[in-house]
């Protein structure tokens, strides 16, 4: 299959290109690093003839710093996707695999003894300042227990990145309905691995910890370090993209969690990286970043049942490799 990968030189995109090529696909790449902008119709009209599927990885990533980031996120992620989809329609490209994200969910799923499954709202600044990090039931203010979140959960994007990733999914749904195309949205959980971008205000926590250790600094763990996430290796994510090329339903967009199914705390991740590099040990600061979610744990069952995808790289193995892997 002739496949166009946008963001082909990026962290995830470069691994996707490798996985597709190794599986025998004919891969074309588009990446801003080589002067090719997904918002440029001329570039798309040159690359799309003969393409049978697009794997759309190009995006402005990270949570953003403040509202000044809104125009860039909207331009790259939302407008860029709209331009791409319009070009795909012009060239009768009928299959899309979209890099979405767990951030579209907002806070994770929780169970209350009294009210059952609940979705707490954003945590209050005053509570965070007092070290009260756990969400509580929005109905009775009781403690809640973290639960796995499935693809049909209500969506609640809480920052510019999350809002524009959800916009991409909606745009893909519009395109699929109007063209009869097939769209698969892969909601990545916490991706890590070789070639991850170094420590920037837009980096994921894994890269921030890894960069600190490389510089001989102790990783600084926010809150109490007990925030739960699902860390999934980038090569597994690439395999999910490969599987998604055969998934989905014409005329619609289907979303899948891409996750390991084995959650760990932020503190556990920092400790594993520090141990693999020989220290220094992480420091739990008690600091917080307003807008962060407490726990988000994925159910990967739909991807397993419908795409035949299961993560293969276990947390200990992946963290040992990542601790000394090259960063971008």
Q: Taking a C-beta distance cutoff of 8 angstroms, is the pair 149, 299 a contact?
A: yes
Burial 109-136 (b: 16+ CB within 10 A, else e): bbebeeeeebbbeebeeeebeeeebbbb
More confident residue, 62 or 116: 116
pLDDT exceeds 90 at position 58:
yes
Structure tokens at 220: 């600084």
> Nearest 5°: phi and psi at 71?
-60, -40
Distance CA 171, CA 69 (A): 21
The predicted-structure confidence for 114-173, as pLDDT tens digits, reads as follows 999 998 888 888 999 999 999 999 999 999 999 999 999 999 998 899 999 999 999 999
pLDDT exceeds 70 at position 200:
no
- Strand, helix or coil at 114? coil
Name the pLDDT band for 107 (thresholds 50, 70, 90): confident
Query: Counting beta carbons within 10 angstroms of the beta carbon of residue 173, is it exposed (0 to 12), middle (13 to 18) or buried (19 or more)?
Result: middle
Secondary structure tally for the chain: helices H, strands E: 11, 16
Q: Residues 61, 224, 233, 169: what is their CA dihedral angle, to the nearest 10 degrees?
A: -40
pLDDT exceeds 70 at position 63:
no
The residues facing 172 across adjacent strands are none
- Continuous H helices in the chain: 11-22, 41-47, 70-73, 80-90, 125-129, 160-179, 205-214, 234-244, 266-277, 301-302, 315-324
Q: Taking a C-beta distance cutoff of 8 angstroms, is the pair 253, 292 a contact?
A: no
Instruction: Characterize the bridge pairing of strands 109-112 and 145-149.
Output: antiparallel
User: pTM for the complete prediction?
Assistant: 0.95
Pick from 23, 33, 29, 7: nearest CA to 99:
7
Q: Taking a C-beta distance cutoff of 8 angstroms, is the pair 99, 186 a contact?
A: yes
Distance CA 175, CA 3 (A): 18
pLDDT value for 65? 62
Q: Taking a C-beta distance cutoff of 8 angstroms, is the pair 39, 80 a contact?
A: yes
Region for residue 232 given its phi and psi (left: phi exceeds 0; alpha: psi -120 to 50; beta: otherwise): beta
pLDDT value for 139? 94
Q: Looking at residues 249-257, what average pLDDT do you find? A: 98
Q: Looking at residues 55-62, what average pLDDT do you find? A: 92
Region for residue 20 given its phi and psi (left: phi exceeds 0; alpha: psi -120 to 50; beta: otherwise): alpha
Name the pLDDT band for 246 (thresholds 50, 70, 90): very high
């Amino acid at each position: 299959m002739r496949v166009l990968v946008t963001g082909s030189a990026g962290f995830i995109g470069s691994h996707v290109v490798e996985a597709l090529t190794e599986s025998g696909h004919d891969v074309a790449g588009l990446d801003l690093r080589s002067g090719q902008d997904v918002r440029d119709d001329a570039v798309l009209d040159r690359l799309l003839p003969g393409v049978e599927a697009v794997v759309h990885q190009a995006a402005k990533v990270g949570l953003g710093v403040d509202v000044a980031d809104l125009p860039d996120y909207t331009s790259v992620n939302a407008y860029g996707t709209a331009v791409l989809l319009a070009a795909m329609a012009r060239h009768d490209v009928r299959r899309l695999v979209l890099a979405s994200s767990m951030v579209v969910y907002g806070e994770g799923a929780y169970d209350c003894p009294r009210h059952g499954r609940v979705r707490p709202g954003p945590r209050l600044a005053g509570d965070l300042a007092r070290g009260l990090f756990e969400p509580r039931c929005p109905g009775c203010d009781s403690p809640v227990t973290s639960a796995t979140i499935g693809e049909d959960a209500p969506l609640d994007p809480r920052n510019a990145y999350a809002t524009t990733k959800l916009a991409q999914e909606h745009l893909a749904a519009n395109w699929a309905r109007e063209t009869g195309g097939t769209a698969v949205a892969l909601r990545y959980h916490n991706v890590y691995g070789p070639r991850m971008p170094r420590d920037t205000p837009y980096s994921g926590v894994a890269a921030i910890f890894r960069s600190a250790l490389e510089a001989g600094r102790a990783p600084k763990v926010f809150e109490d370090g007990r925030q739960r996430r699902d860390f999934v290796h980038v090569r597994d994510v690439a395999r999910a993209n490969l599987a998604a090329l055969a998934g989905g339903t014409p005329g619609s967009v289907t979303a899948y969690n891409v996750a390991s199914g084995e959650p760990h705390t932020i503190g556990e991740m920092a400790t594993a990286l520090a141990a693999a590099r020989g220290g220094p040990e992480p420091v739990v600061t008690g600091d917080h970043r307003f807008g962060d979610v407490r726990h988000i744990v994925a159910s990967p069952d739909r991807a397993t049942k419908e795409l035949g995808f299961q993560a293969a790289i276990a947390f200990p193995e992946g963290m040992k490799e990542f601790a000394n892997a090259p960063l971008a």
